[in-house]
Amino acid sequence: MSGVRRPRARQTVLRLSMRVWDAPTRLFHWAVVVLIATSYFTRNLTDITWHLLSGYTLLSLLLFRLVWGFIGSETSRFSQFLRSPVEGLRHLAHFTRREPDDQVGHNAAGGWMVLVLLADLGVQVGTGLFTYDADDHVPQGPLAHLVSEDTAEKITAVHSFNFNVILALIVLHVLAVIAYAVIKKHDLVRPMITGRKRLPGATRQPRMASSVLALLLVVLSACVVWVVVTRI
Ligand code: HEM
Ligand code: HEM
């Protein structure tokens, strides 16, 4: 027997394609991207109707996502992806470490980013409902008549300013996705498009909720928004 050490064959883990994101969550994500762009490009049109419609659609989808966060698929539930802030920081601490991508759903840091993004979008549509045209002294948002002119003007200022905060968060979000691709070689985008990801064979397939239930929830959310903007 020679004393030469043969390089040990690298252990290969069998990976299987698994569903990690349900269709409703993926459709929600890409619809939000389109609606934010639509809201931005329609903000200064003479006819504000398109901006309002885009905003109401986004509000309906956010309501849906809120409920889906409690009764939706396992990876979309807040209880699954909101872990302690310490865990989030611990995740960031080994960000530069190269390791295989075994993550099912949002990671501990990404979960907080998701919550902040959703909450800030909520602020944008919430303030939009109370917007007031200070030049012509007319309420523009459907609920502006419920508050004084002074309050509505302040809320409108928040609506204008908060869009910059949203832009900053989106830049951070996209930079984080790029950093995962470049530094860790983790492709997060493909699963957000196809819903599937290659994971170690021993990984338990996350439980997926019914898309029909999601559709019913979206319709119900749209009805609630319709009642709020037309009947109050
Ligand atoms: C319920 C939803 C929404 C309603 C009712 C609404 C309503 C309005 C109204 C009436 C204005 C004109 C205010 C003015 O005269 O200064 C406005 C401006 C604006 N909205 Fe919305 N909006 C909504 C959602 C959104 C969303 C989702 C975004 C983007 C994410 C957005 C971004 C903006 C921006 C950037 C402006 C321009 C502010 C400025 O001129 O400084 N809005 N919105
Ligand atoms: C308007 C811009 C965007 C907004 C507001 C936004 C918002 C969000 C939100 C709220 C989630 C959580 C999804 C959920 O659980 O419901 C998410 C996840 C995600 N987004 Fe975006 N997004 C935007 C643009 C993009 C773009 C351009 C990309 C592609 C480069 C992208 C890639 C992703 C990926 C890969 C995830 C899943 C992250 C993970 O694996 O944990 N997003 N985004």
User: What is the pLDDT confidence band of residue 10, given thresholds at 50, 70 and 90?
Assistant: low
Mean pLDDT, the chain, rounded, equals 94
* Calpha distance 136→222 (Å, rounded): 30
Cα(72) to centroid(ligand 1), Å:
30
Cα(117) to centroid(ligand 2), Å:
9
Can you give the pLDDT at residue 3?
A: 41
Q: Tell me: the pLDDT tens digits for 168-178?
A: 999 999 999 99
CA of 178, nearest ligand number: 2
Atom of ligand 1 nearest to the CA of 133: 15
C-alpha torsion sign, points 27, 32, 37, 38 = positive
Atom of ligand 1 nearest to the CA of 166: 30
pLDDT greater at residue 134 or residue 5: 134
Q: Locate all alpha helices (DSSP H) within the chain, ordered by sequence.
A: 23-41, 49-71, 78-81, 85-93, 108-128, 149-183, 189-194, 211-231
Ligand 1, atom 2, lies closest to the CA of: 55
Is 90 exceeded by the pLDDT of residue 67? yes
Identify the H or E element spanning 17: strand 15-19
- The tally of CA atoms less than 13 A away on the side-chain side of residue 99 is 7
User: What is the pLDDT confidence band of residue 1, given thresholds at 50, 70 and 90?
Assistant: very low
Can you give the pLDDT at residue 71?
A: 98
Cα(220) to centroid(ligand 2), Å:
24
User: What is the pLDDT confidence band of residue 225, given thresholds at 50, 70 and 90?
Assistant: very high
Three-state secondary-structure class, residue 209 = coil
Burial zone of 157 (CB within 10 Å; 0-12 exposed, 13-18 middle, 19+ buried): middle
User: What is the pLDDT confidence band of residue 206, given thresholds at 50, 70 and 90?
Assistant: very high
Cα(106) to centroid(ligand 2), Å:
10
Q: How far is CA 161 from the centre of its chain?
A: 20
First to last CA, the chain: 88
Cα(80) to centroid(ligand 2), Å:
17
Angle at 56 between CA 50 and CA 60, to 5 degrees: 145
Can you give the pLDDT at residue 137?
A: 85
Report percent pLDDT > 70 for the chain: 95
Ligand 2, atom 30, lies closest to the CA of: 174
Mutational pocket test of ligand 1: of 43, 48, 135, 158, the residue with most ligand atoms within 8 Å of the beta carbon: 43
Domains of the chain with CATH codes:
24-231 (1.20.950)
Report percent pLDDT > 90 for the chain: 88
- Ligand 2 proximal residues by C-beta, below 6 Å: 25, 28-29, 32-33, 36, 65, 76, 106, 110, 114, 117-118, 170, 173-174, 177, 188-189, 192
Mean pLDDT of 182-197: 97
Is 60 exceeded by the pLDDT of residue 8? no
pTM, whole model, 2 decimals? 0.93
User: What is the pLDDT confidence band of residue 62, given thresholds at 50, 70 and 90?
Assistant: very high
